[in-house]
């Protein structure tokens, strides 16, 4: 049982609970989508551990499928965020087509026998650029915002930190995956990923709380 309780699963589960409590009555489907997405994330993580530790089989296929879902949800959410400023439907469609081509090509190249790491990196780059574009739109708009309580800002902050640090870790510290220390029992790469996971889920949870507070304030002022 203890194998299922890791920093990642605990963080995801906590974020799921926060999303359930804060977004359940949200009027925007894009925000409510995170309840399902985080539930699936927790399930995928648990399934991954089960396949690896109980069935003793590789679990990459679960993560391959999940990557597709992750890309869809995050891209759609960015599209929703941009909608306040401009219509980016074409950009979203173009990006999803490019990603789907890349993903399929990599799957076929690997003969469906390995994790699609290049597609994962491509998605990370795409989402980092999307985050930077969101900041650009935020800077360009004439009005200022209360950023400390602005939910989209905190969601994007978590996302950019996670994917930026993740991509850097993947590219430059891959050798760290081999080193295990008896006192800790994990590779440095695993621990760095756990840290950025915590940052991601803390940031998202805070964004959900901001969203909840915004909804409560706007409904009480009506």
Among 41, 59, 119, 157, contact with another protein (rule: CB under 8 A): 157
For position 165 contacting another protein by CB under 8 A, the verdict is yes
Instruction: Look up residue 63 and give its two tokens.
Output: 């993560």
Q: Of the listed pieces 26-34, 41-49, 91-99, 177-185, which binds another protein according to CB under 8 A?
A: 177-185
Are 161 and 199 a contacting pair, CB within 8 Å?
yes
Are 31 and 214 a contacting pair, CB within 8 Å?
no
For position 160 contacting another protein by CB under 8 A, the verdict is yes
State the chain's maximal CA–CA distance in angstroms: 59
Terminus-to-terminus CA distance in the chain, angstroms?
Answer: 48
Give 73 or 167: the residue with its C-beta nearer to another protein. 167
Give 48 or 152: the residue with its C-beta nearer to another protein. 152
Instruction: Look up residue 179 and give its two tokens.
Output: 């080193």
For position 33 contacting another protein by CB under 8 A, the verdict is no
Strand positions, DSSP E, 87-185: none
Among 3, 21, 184, 217, contact with another protein (rule: CB under 8 A): 184
Closest CA to 77 of 24, 33, 122: 33
Q: Of the listed pieces 21-29, 74-82, 106-114, 195-203, which binds another protein according to CB under 8 A?
A: 195-203
Closest CA to 148 of 95, 203, 190, 102: 203
| Interface residue list for another protein (CB under 8 A) | 131-132, 135, 138-139, 142-145, 147, 153, 157, 160-161, 164-165, 168-169, 173, 176, 178-179, 181-184, 188, 191-192, 195-196, 199
């Amino acid at each position: 049982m203890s194998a299922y309780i890791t920093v990642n699963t605990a963080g995801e589960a906590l974020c799921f609970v926060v999303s359930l409590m804060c977004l359940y009555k949200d009027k925007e489907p894009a925000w409510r989508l995170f309840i399902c997405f985080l539930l699936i994330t927790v399930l995928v993580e648990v399934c991954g551990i089960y396949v690896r530790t109980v069935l003793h089989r590789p679990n990459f296929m679960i993560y391959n499928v999940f990557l597709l879902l992750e890309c869809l949800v995050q891209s759609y959410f960015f599209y929703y965020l941009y909608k306040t400023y401009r219509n980016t439907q074409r950009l979203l469609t173009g990006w999803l087509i490019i990603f789907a081509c890349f993903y399929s090509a990599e799957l076929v190249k690997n003969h469906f026998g390995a994790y699609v790491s290049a597609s994962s990196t491509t998605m990370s780059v795409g989402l980092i650029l999307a985050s930077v574009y969101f900041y650009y739109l935020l800077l360009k708009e004439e009005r200022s915002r209360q950023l400390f309580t602005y939910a989209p800002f905190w969601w994007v902050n978590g996302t950019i930190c996670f994917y930026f640090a993740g991509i850097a870790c993947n590219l430059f510290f891959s050798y760290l995956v081999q080193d295990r220390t008896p006192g800790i029992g994990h590779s440095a790469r695993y621990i760095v990923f756990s840290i950025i996971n915590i940052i991601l889920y803390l940031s998202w949870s805070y964004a959900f709380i901001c969203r909840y507070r915004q909804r409560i304030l706007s409904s009480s002022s009506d």
